[in-house]
Amino acid sequence: MNIKGLKGEIIENAPLGAMSWFRCGGKADLLFKPADAEDLSMFLQSWPANEPLTIIGGLANTIIRDGGIRGACVQLGKPFAKVSAHAKQHPREGGELDPVSGTGCSKHAYIEAGCGALNGNIAAAAVKAGIGGMEFLSGIPGSFGGALRMNAGAYGAEVKDVLLGVSALDRKGELHRMLLKDMHMSYRHSGAPHDYIFLSGILKGEAEDYKTVKARITEIKKKRNDTQPIKEQTGGSTFANPSAEALKRAGLPEGTRSWQIVEMVGGRGLKIGGAQMSEKHCNFMLNTGDAKARDLEMLGDELIARALDKFGVNLLKWEIKRIGEH
């Protein structure tokens, strides 16, 4: 591939599977890591409309299928990982996104984050600046762009609770800016156009004492360490929690979590090939060392089928993204 003027990195036969948190799966025909937003726009304008294009994030909550990915993949890396914290002030009124109306609220604070930034780094920047409300991001693996796309959440909060607005490029390389209301976010879902590539976002918080915010994030990290297999090869939560309506139809109490359903159908420790549901937290899927992507997907599908057979309702739905060819 040769697009004149591109500054970013182009990798052919990129080992995406090995780059993913599961450390298994196939390759991408081509991986492009743009140098900046202008570089990405140029690539999008030049890439043929009839050729496949896949947007990937930090590959945390993702299975790359063994057959790999055709066409091009785009990944936002270091140039898009900047995080800026602004305590005790509003975003500039009438500025790039104008995400809040009015000025002078001394407690209001905000973070500007590129979509290549790790969620944990955003949380750390907020703590350092004494900005509360974003501690939950420390419990979400992967990059901010992926968290935006799926309205990721943890510990009782989700992205839409703190989001003010985003900037994005469409498939033609044209820039768009959206406020939270334009995103149509719901549980583990963003209604933004599927072809939008998020570039950055603005998150709101509250200016607080550093020690208070630090204590909360320390508590979250301890809870995560105590309850999740974070030192294993895992992609985070495998299944989204079922809706209240689905639980009612299944005859289960409101608030029943996906891990409880996995346990009810004998999923704790269940293994297929090199894939296993964690004994420590049975909504976490592990690559025990020699798993193929198909092992991971077969294990998840087996649990989905068991839950449907037991309760007559489709209670388990993938939260992990599966992309590529079998």
Beta strand pairing call for 69-75 and 28-33: parallel
Q: Phi, psi at residue 202, to the nearest 5°?
A: -115, 130
Residue-wise DSSP of 203-223? EEEEE--HHHHHHHHHHHHHH
Residues carrying an active site annotation: 188, 237, 319
List CB contacts of 184: < 8 A, sequence separation 6 or more.
Answer: 190, 191, 192
C-alpha angle 58/62/65, rounded to 5°? 125
Please give the structure tokens belonging to residue 87.
Answer: 């305590």
Tell me if 32 sits within 8 A of 73, measured CB to CB.
yes
Beta strand pairing call for 153-154 and 157-158: antiparallel
Q: Where are the alpha helices (DSSP H) in 143-240?
A: 144-150, 180-183, 210-227
